[in-house]
Amino acid sequence: MTFRDVRDIDHSVTVHAETNMDATALGLKRIREQQFVMEGLADPVTVELVTSTQHKVSLKKVIDWMAHAGGKSPKEIAMKARVRES
């Protein structure tokens, strides 16, 4: 996952995940552990996911996904729980 900050600097982390949202949330968690991401910057920021296919996901969409307590399936609920673990 690559995140470009407002100063046009790229920050990258590698994560292993099953879905794009899971990968983005895990990457965001790793970047937050470095106390870098500020929630106020979420709306204009996108992150880049590179798999065998390239995906871009709005950071705001990931934060909204994480904020919703439930999920569409037990698998999605488990993914969110894994990302929330410290």
CA dist 20 and 23 (Å) reads 5
Give 32's Cβ-side CA count (13 Å radius): 16
Based on the structure, what is the number of domains in the chain?
Answer: 1
Q: Residue 79's CB: how many other CB atoms inside 10 A?
A: 21
Question: Which tokens sit at 56?
Answer: 């871009």
State which residues of the chain have pLDDT below 50.
Answer: none
Give the domain range for residue 34: 2-84
* Predicted TM-score of the model (pTM): 0.50
pLDDT of residue 85: 74
